[in-house]
Structure 1
Amino acid sequence: MQAQPLFNRALLTNDDGIDAPGMAALVAAVTPLAREIWVVAPEHDQSGVSRAVSLHAPLRASLRGERRVAVSGTPSDCVVLGLRAVLRDNPPDIVFSGINRGANLAEEVGYSGTVAAALTARMLGVPAYAVSQAWRDRFNVRWHTAISGLAGVVERFGSAPATVLNINFPDVEPVELAGIAVTRQAITGTIDVDVESRTDMRGFDYHWMAFRRQPASAVDEASDVAALRRHQISVTPLGFSLTDMAALQALA
C-alpha cells in the first residue's frame, strides 16, 4: 500500500528560474510527498542574489500553468508573494527551494538565492528545505540523484524541521550514495570574486563579475564540503545569526 503524503500543500521555488531543469526535478521529487504542489518562482535566473527583496519596484506575476506562477523578482520575493498573496488563504505546510544546479556549500551559502528563499520562508513561519545537486559537468547534472534521495531525507528529518535544512547531494549515482551526514558549514577560504573588464562595440566599458573557486586542501571532516567528498548527502541546519562567536569572546 502506498504511503500517505507527508504534506497537504507544498510551495516550491528556486533561484535558477521557473523553467530551469532543477525546478522540474524538484516537482518530480516532491510529488510523492505532497497532495498539492504550487510553484512560485522567478521568471529568469536569479542566482547569487542572496536575500534581496524588491522594495523599490512592483512585482509582476504571470500564470504559467495550473498552480504555476512566474514572478518578476528574486527568490525571496517569490516566497513572500507565494505566502502572503498567492496562497494567503490556503497556506502551505512546507517550502522547498531548489533543486539548485550546483552545490551550496561553505561561504557560498551567503550568496545563494536558493538558501535565501528557504530562510525567508522560515522567517515567515513556514518550515523549509533548501536543496542542491553538485556537479562536475554543468551540462550533465545528476538530477536523478536528488530526485531519488530527497524523500528519504525529508522522512528522516520530518515534515517540520526546527530550522532551515540545507541539503546538498554529491555528484554521484544514487547507488553510490554513502548515507546522510548532519554537517556544519565549512569555512574553506577558497572563494574569490574576479572582475573581467571589456569594451563594447560602441566604445563603452562594461564588466563581468565571476566567482573563482579553488578546492580546499584540508577541510573540517564534520563540514558540508567533507561530506560531499565522502559521497554523503550533506544536511546542514542554518539559522539567522551571523555572529562570529570566537571574535565575540575575544572582544569581550
Structure 2
Amino acid sequence: MTSVDRPTVMVTNDDGIDAAGLQSLVRVLVSSGRYNVQVCAPDAERSAVSHSITWRHPLAARRVNVEGAIAFAVAGTPADCTSLGISKALFPSVADLVISGINMGSNCGYNIVYSGTVAGAREAFFNGVPSISISYDWVGGISSVQDYTLAAEACLPIIGSILSEIKKSSYPRNCFLNVDLPTDVANHKGYKLTKQGRSTNQVGWEPMTSDMHGRQMLSTMATTMSQEHLLFKRVRGAQVDDADRRSLKEGFITVMPLDALSPANVECETFFKDWLPKVA
C-alpha cells in the first residue's frame, strides 16, 4: 500500500509529545505500515486541563523528530493541538482519524470531564472528524513502559475497523470513542461496550506552610508568600467506582461512545418540568 492509498491518523495527547504512551502508539501505528501518521501534541504535560483552549495569544509550534511521522510540538492544550492539527494550517490535509493518547492513567466516570486526553478527541468530534481517546490504567510498581506498546497493539483492531467504516461512509458521526485498557493489558479479557459512570477520585485538601515541600514551590511564589496567603495541596482519597470502571478493573478493554452534550437524567428533567411553572 502506497502512502497515497493509506489513511491518515493524527495523534495528540495531554501528557506531552515526549510521553511514553504517545511515543509507543506512534511506533505501533508506523510499524504497521497501514497509516500516514501525523503528530500534533503539547510540548509539555497538560494533564487535567479538560477542554480549555488558548484564545488571547498566538500558539508556538515547532517541528520535532518522531520517527516515521510528521510531528509538531505545540505550546498549547490538547484541544488546541487537535484544532490546529485538523485546520490545514499545519498539515496539508485533514486526518481521517484523530487519536488522543495513550494516557498514563484511566479515564472513566466523572474523570472524563477533567481529562485533557478525552478533550483532544472531543475537539476533533466538534469539527466533524472521527476520533478516539485511549487511556491505560497505569499502576505504579506494577505497570511498565512496555505496557503502552501492548495497549497500542490491542487497539489496532479498533483503529483499523473504524477507518474501514469511515472509508465505506458507514461510521457514525454523532459520537466519539473513549477506550480504556486494563492494568494487566497482556491478559485482557477482550472488548466490552460501556457507558459513562459516576466514578471519581474523592479529593480532599490539606493546609501547608510556606516551608513545607519548599523544594516543590516556585521561587516566585515563595518570595511573595506572606501571612495573608493560605497554601493548600490536593490529597487524593478513595476511588468511588461505577460500572465502567469495574469492567476495566475486571480486565476488559472498555469502549465507550461519548457525545459532546451531557443531558440530565429523566428524573431531573421530570422534577424541573413540574418545578419551573411554580417559580413564577
TM (norm. structure 1) is 0.87
**Could you tell me which of 216, 231, 242 is aligned with 2:251?**
231
Rg larger for: 2
Contact kept in structure 2, 1:33 and 1:151, CA below 8 Å: no
CA shift for structure 1 position 154 = 2.6
For residues 189-248 of structure 1, give each alpha carbon's deviation from its aligned partner in whole angstroms, at most 9, with x where no partner exists.
5432535534165461574653624133x63xxx32021121000001110112212312
Segments ≥4 residues shifted beyond 4 Å: 4-7, 156-159, 205-209
- Once the two structures are overlaid, the 10-residue window that deviates more, 104-113 or 148-157, is 148-157
Q: In 1, distance between residues paired with 2:195 and 2:56?
A: 35
Paired residue type of 1:154: I
Aligned residue number for residue 93 of structure 1: 96
Identity in percent: 28
- Name the SS of the counterpart of 2:255 in structure 1: strand
Letter in 2 for 1:149: A
Match of 2:193 in 1: 182
Match in the other structure for 1:29:
28
Distance 1:195 1:55 in 2: 33
Separation in 2 of the partners of 1:166 and 1:34? 22
Give the match's secondary structure for 1:117. helix
| 1:1-252 equivalences in 2 (<5 Å) | 8-31=7-30, 32=32, 34-65=34-65, 67-84=70-87, 85-87=89-91, 89-137=92-140, 140-141=144-145, 142-157=147-162, 159=164, 160=166, 161-162=171-172, 163-174=175-186, 176-188=187-199, 190-192=201-203, 194=205, 196-199=207-210, 202=223, 204=225, 205=229, 207=231, 209-210=233-234, 212-216=236-240, 219=242, 223-246=243-266, 247-252=268-273
The secondary structure found in structure 1 opposite 2:138 is: coil
Letter aligned with residue 148 of structure 1: E
Quickly say closer, same or farther: Cα 1:236–1:213, change in 2 above 3 A. Answer: farther
1:57 is displaced (CA, Å) by: 1.6
Contact 2:111 2:200 in 1 (8 A): no
Aligned residue for 1:214, secondary structure, equals: strand
Structure showing the higher helix proportion among its residues: 2
Secondary structure of 2:81's partner? helix
Can you list the C-alpha shifts for 1:78-105, whole angstroms capped at 9, x where unaligned?
A: 0111111112x31110000000000011
Partner SS, residue 150 of structure 2: helix
CA 1:112–1:61: 2 relative to 1, 3 Å = same
Question: How far, CA to CA, are the matches of 1:20 and 1:164 in structure 2?
Answer: 23
What are structure 2's unaligned runs of at least 5 residues?
Answer: 212-221, 274-280
* Structure 1 residue ranges without an equivalent (≥5): none
| Deviating more after overlay: 162-171 vs 30-39 | 30-39
Report how many aligned residue pairs link the two structures. 244
Is the partner of 1:231 in helix, strand or coil?
A: coil
Distance 1:51 1:135, change over 3 A: same
Distance 1:60-1:146 versus aligned 2 partners, 3 A rule: same
Conserved 8 A contact 2:111-2:199: no
- Does the CA-based 8 Å contact 1:107-1:191 persist in structure 2? no
Counterpart-to-counterpart distance in 1, 2:233 and 2:76: 21
Using structure 2 for the length normalisation, give the TM-score.
Answer: 0.79
